[in-house]
A and B are shown apart, each in its own frame.
Chain A
Amino acid sequence: MSFETKKNITVYKPAVKTEEMILNMGPQHPSTHGVLRLELQLEGEIITKVIPHIGYLHRCFEKHAEAMTYPQVIPYTDRMDYLASMGNEFGYAVAVEKLLNIQVPERVEYIRVIMAELQRIASHLVALGTYGADIGAMTPFLFCFRDREKILSLFEMTCGARLLYNYIWVGGLSHDLHPDFVRQTRDFVTYFKPKIKELNDLLTYNKIFIDRTSNVGILPLDTAINFGISGPMLRGSGLKWDLRKDDPYSVYHKFDFDIPVGEGKVGTVGDCWDRYYVRVLEMGESLKIIEQALDQLPEGDVSSAIPKRIKPPVGQVYTRVENPRGELGYFIISDGSVNPFRVKVRAPSFVNLGVMDVLCRGHMVADIIAILGSVDIVLGEVDR
């Protein structure tokens, strides 16, 4: 299906021509999740056009990467999507290991999967909590952060850092697991399962929340694919597409988990409630993966495969991993030296943000908050 790319698509034509107002949801705003400027063209309360302005957090990651050696890039990848750092490092490590064509020990793979799934739960907790806070329900925000604290203390036990880890290195990990890690993670899994139910009771099925988010920001499936949307946004529109199953990397093929898809349970398929609900269900699936990985965790040495000097052959590679926000892609070109020639990061939030204009046409100002929260962007990733 093709659709128009003319610049002035109007969906809503009011009977009385009121004066058009330009409202700026400026870079500093409590609910734009970072420094994002949204220029809204309004007719009364209805939106005719949304122009996002980004670049306020541009830190020249790609230029830095060309000046450093391959292992030195890893702390920089952390800081792009700072709420899902393990995922960023994972993607970069997988890409460089593919270039070098090295095989990492099994234990390393399993630990990486456990960390990535714990990180997925933590990132979704932030997304859901802040989404509730934007809509007005302040209490689930604190409940989500209380549960996230437990995950962050697990990370702190492993590598010493709560938010930006520098843990997953090319070829292995920086530290092995703490001896008490497995027991505490199992405790966390048992603790967290009823908390998802608590969140559902409090927020997900709340009538006011459903009124605010269902039938708002409906994203049809073919629009989503054409815009390159990925992650929970794409799954919320009805497509069962998850890189962990459709383009598997690491040891994900050894686990048994389900892919939640938006079905329009309380509205239409692809509205904000669907995307929100997909994230809630994904947290449950991640718990399953963590349990299975803990059961199957082999012994081994985590730093045996880390090369002393990384000098890949001339070539290029594009790998992608499933980050909590979508498909994170690393395109690395190597010219045979110790510095990468070009590292391009295909950030999921950058691509997902491009669809804001189409999603917001014809809605009201209050809905922008709901839609922006359901897109779930992190400005560090959008601007890099």
Chain B
Amino acid sequence: MKTAEEFFNILKQKFGDSIIELKSGVPLESFIIIDPLKIDEVCLFLRDDSELKFDNCMNLSGVDDANGKKEAQADGSSTIVGGTISVIYHLESVYLKHKVTLKVSAPRENPQVKSVAAIWRSADWHEREAYDLFGINFINHPDLRRILMPYDWEAGYPLRKDYKNPEFYQGMKVPY
């Protein structure tokens, strides 16, 4: 059973600059921060290396870090400018029984993250959900469309902290 430090060291040796830092000491899990455009190479290595063998991506969630500047708008609400949106990966190995958490952060205005759907097929729908609810664009995803919201929802990405409901959707009044 390896710990997060050991994983961090193995990855840092192999990938160098793509691995940014290891955030530990925060309850309850330590996570490894990785460059968003290099995440697919790192994950391919994580899956195929014989000592690591992370063959199961348990969870892939988008998170709106809300660490930008709040700007007040004309109608009383506020939008957030700057800051990041992150994607958090929880991986585990069924046969070697260890787990690791990864995090990538991308700028809020145009979040671009490489897709890992080709590596773990379970990430396919999770990434579609992150795109749908946060607006994160996954490069090289086979079929990036909205999954939970209607396909023609124009009004933004609902789980962002500064999301406002639109007035009308296809002629129907939205807040009722």
- Contact surface of A with B, Cβ cutoff 8 Å: 5, 7, 54-55, 58, 60, 62-63, 98-99, 101, 222-223, 225-229, 239, 241, 246, 313-318, 320, 327, 329, 331, 333, 342, 344, 346, 350-351, 353-355, 383-384
Q: Contact between A346 and B59 (Cβ–Cβ < 8 Å)?
A: yes
Tell me the bound Cα distance from A384 to B88 in angstroms: 19
Interface presence of B143 (CB below 8 A): yes
Contacts of B122 in A (CB 8 A): 226-229, 351, 354
Contacts of A318 in B (CB 8 A): 29, 58-59, 90, 101
> Which B-chain residue is minimally distant from A59 (CB atoms)?
B148
Tell me the bound Cα distance from A222 to B47 in angstroms: 13
Interface presence of B175 (CB below 8 A): no
Q: Contact between A315 and B56 (Cβ–Cβ < 8 Å)?
A: no
Q: Contact between A314 and B120 (Cβ–Cβ < 8 Å)?
A: no
Interface of B (DSSP majority class):
loop
Contacts of B143 in A (CB 8 A): 7
CB distance from B88 to the nearest CB of A (A): 7
CB distance from A246 to the nearest CB of B (A): 7
> Which B-chain residue is minimally distant from A332 (CB atoms)?
B28
Whether A226 touches B121, Cβ cut-off 8 Å, given contacts A54-B148, A63-B158, A315-B28, is yes
Q: Which 7 A-B pairs have the closest CB atoms?
A: A228-B122, A315-B27, A344-B61, A55-B148, A346-B59, A317-B28, A58-B148
Residues of B within 8 A of A (CB-CB), count? 36
CB distance from A332 to the nearest CB of B (A): 10
Contacts of B159 in A (CB 8 A): 62-63
Q: Contact between A350 and B125 (Cβ–Cβ < 8 Å)?
A: yes
Tell me the bound Cα distance from A384 to B27 in angstroms: 27
Q: Contact between A228 and B148 (Cβ–Cβ < 8 Å)?
A: no
Q: Contact between A314 and B26 (Cβ–Cβ < 8 Å)?
A: yes
> Which B-chain residue is minimally distant from A221 (CB atoms)?
B94
Contacts of A54 in B (CB 8 A): 147-148
Whether A344 touches B59, Cβ cut-off 8 Å, given contacts A313-B27, A354-B125, is yes
Q: Contact between A55 and B149 (Cβ–Cβ < 8 Å)?
A: yes
Tell me the bound Cα distance from A101 to B27 in angstroms: 10
Q: Contact between A316 and B142 (Cβ–Cβ < 8 Å)?
A: no
Query: Out of B57, B61, B142, which one reaches A331, CB within 8 Å?
Result: B61
Q: Contact between A342 and B61 (Cβ–Cβ < 8 Å)?
A: yes
Contacts of B124 in A (CB 8 A): 354
Tell me the bound Cα distance from A350 to B124 in angstroms: 11
Tell me the bound Cα distance from A228 to B97 in angstroms: 15
Tell me the bound Cα distance from A314 to B149 in angstroms: 30
Q: Contact between A228 and B58 (Cβ–Cβ < 8 Å)?
A: yes
Q: List 10 A-B contacts (CB under 8 A).
A: A5-B121, A55-B147, A62-B159, A63-B159, A228-B57, A246-B97, A317-B28, A327-B58, A354-B122, A384-B148
CB distance from B155 to the nearest CB of A (A): 14
Tell me the bound Cα distance from A150 to B57 in angstroms: 38
Query: Out of A58, A101, A239, A314, which one reaches B94, CB within 8 Å?
Result: A239
Q: Contact between A317 and B27 (Cβ–Cβ < 8 Å)?
A: yes
Tell me the bound Cα distance from A98 to B94 in angstroms: 23
Contacts of A342 in B (CB 8 A): 61, 63-64
Q: Contact between B29 and A227 (Cβ–Cβ < 8 Å)?
A: no
Q: Contact between B27 and A99 (Cβ–Cβ < 8 Å)?
A: yes
Contacts of B29 in A (CB 8 A): 315-318
> Which of B56, B118, B146 has the most chain A CB within a 10 Å cutoff?
B56
- Interfacial residues of chain B within 42-78, with CB under 8 A of chain A in the complex: 55-59, 61, 63-64
Contacts of A62 in B (CB 8 A): 133, 159
> Which B-chain residue is minimally distant from A319 (CB atoms)?
B28
Interface presence of B16 (CB below 8 A): no
Tell me the bound Cα distance from A227 to B57 in angstroms: 8
- Interfacial residues of chain B within 102-117, with CB under 8 A of chain A in the complex: 117
Tell me the bound Cα distance from A316 to B88 in angstroms: 11
Tell me the bound Cα distance from A383 to B117 in angstroms: 20
Q: Contact between A354 and B121 (Cβ–Cβ < 8 Å)?
A: yes
Tell me the bound Cα distance from A355 to B125 in angstroms: 10
Tell me the bound Cα distance from A315 to B56 in angstroms: 24
> Which A-chain residue is minimally distant from B128 (CB atoms)?
A354
Q: Contact between B28 and A331 (Cβ–Cβ < 8 Å)?
A: no
Interface presence of B171 (CB below 8 A): no
Query: Out of B55, B125, B149, which one reaches A225, CB within 8 Å?
Result: B55
Contacts of B149 in A (CB 8 A): 55, 58
CB distance from A253 to the nearest CB of B (A): 15
Query: Out of B28, B55, B64, B146, which one reaches A316, CB within 8 Å?
Result: B28
Contacts of A241 in B (CB 8 A): 94
Contacts of A353 in B (CB 8 A): 125
> Which A-chain residue is minimally distant from B66 (CB atoms)?
A341
CB distance from B158 to the nearest CB of A (A): 6
